[in-house]
Amino acid sequence: MPNGLGALVPMNMQFAEGRLTPVEREIVQLAVSVQNRCGYCVAGHSAFGTDLGMTEAGIATLRANRPLPVVHEEALLRFARTLAAHKGHRSDAEYDAFLKAGYTAEQAADVILGVSVKMYTNMLAIWLSLPLDDKFRPYA
């Protein structure tokens, strides 16, 4: 396994073991994948979100880069999008909204980890021109 891929596995595991719910993790990963226009990862996280019980409308909202109707999910989404769009540079407004929505500084660190992991996997998937897995094709 190439060194870069070997580093990804423990980071992904740490993200999965963090303080965000599985749905919140998918919001982060789908938001970043949409931001980076990574077709493979958008399809994959759409499938994973469906597996977790996210609604088709909710996934479509994320994919269209529109606001989410639930206040705390929207704060999470905006925080993740801002991190991805601004390459990690802090936006006090987005961070404050994230905290006001009930999230913690520890959860912010989890979001930062999730954004970092997803940026890396987006770059890999785009660079390698990964073909969609059969499971992901309906979500292309």
DSSP 70-126: SHHHHHHHHHHHHHHHTTT---HHHHHHHHHTT--HHHHHHHHHHHHHHHHHHHHHH
Predicted TM-score (pTM) of this structure: 0.93
Kindly give, in sequence order, each residue whose CB lies less than 8 Å from that of residue 112, ignoring residues fewer than 6 positions away.
83, 88
> Rounded to the nearest 10 degrees, what angle do helices 71-85 and 22-35 cross at?
40
pLDDT in tens, 9-51: 899 999 999 999 999 999 999 999 999 999 999 999 999 999 9
**Which position has the token pair 């987005």?**
94
Confidence of residue 2 (pLDDT cuts 50, 70, 90): low
- pLDDT value, residue 3: 67
Rounded CA-CA distance 71/88 in Å is: 22
Share of the chain above pLDDT 90, in %: 88
Confidence of residue 91 (pLDDT cuts 50, 70, 90): confident
Q: Which domains does the chain have, with CATH numbers?
A: 22-129 (1.20.1290.10)
- pLDDT value, residue 9: 87
Rounded CA-CA distance 138/4 in Å is: 29
